[in-house]
Chain A
Amino acid sequence: GESVGLHLPTLSVQEGDNSIINCAYSNSASDYFIWYKQESGKGPQFIIDIRSNMDKRQGQRVTVLLNKTVKHLSLQIAATQPGDSAVYFCAEGYSTLTFGKGTMLLVSP
């Protein structure tokens, strides 16, 4: 079936750096993507979404970029903080989400 996957399983950054988490998707018909953050012992938490008629969307310290040509999206976190340490998932779809495998972001002080 279709899948949404991630390039890197673990990303280690220093506090204050910018972080970029990547995600590839395979279904060219996908038109809606979401990023979730999951902290240890908690459920996934919505961060930001983007529709396929956009190539960039910004939130508070986060930016999602969508490249439909190569079926790739990324989550950029500016000025990464230790509280950003978590597993980040990209997902596709409305409600019945298909999640990628996740990337662990480790932020060291």
Chain B
Amino acid sequence: DSGVTQTPKHLITATGQRVTLRCSPRSGDLSVYWYQQSLDQGLQFLIQYYNGEERAKGNILERFSAQQFPDLHSELNLSSLELGDSALYFCASSVGVYTGELFFGEGSRLTVL
């Protein structure tokens, strides 16, 4: 158990819809990351927050947005969903910002029909 909690574990929705994925980081971790894992693209970094502020952005689509709240939990919002958005979405956390040791949750599997 990494200490990172993600909900929901599974989500099935239709094209055009909007979903919100939630993440609670490990106790004490200030950095939260979102990664997408798909068969064709592999594991890709989407976005990082540190103590409530956006820290770094990766290959995140404009239809996607995220935020980190004062209690440090984070949400990833995916809108105008397309079939190609079907993937595993992982949240990870770390204490600091310059580290390769991230603690990943078990992921939220999104299926867009």
**Chain A contact residues, CB within 8 Å of chain B:** 32-34, 41-46, 49, 89, 91, 93-102
Contact = CB atoms under 8 A, between A and B. Distances in A.
Nearest to B46: A96
Contact of B43 (A41, A49, A89): A89
Contact of A95 (B42, B43, B48): B48
Contacts of A44: 43, 90, 102, 104
B11 to A, nearest CB: 16
Interface residues of B, number: 26
Given A41-B106, A49-B101, A96 B45 contact: yes
Given A93-B100, A96-B58, 8 more contacts: A34-B101, A43-B104, A49-B101, A94-B100, A95-B97, A97-B45, A98-B45, A101-B42
B101 A46 contact: yes
* SS class, residues of chain A in contact with chain B: loop
Contacts of B44: 99
Contacts of B55: 95
A34 B94 CA distance: 15
A75 to B, nearest CB: 14
A102 B99 CA distance: 20
A42 to B, nearest CB: 6
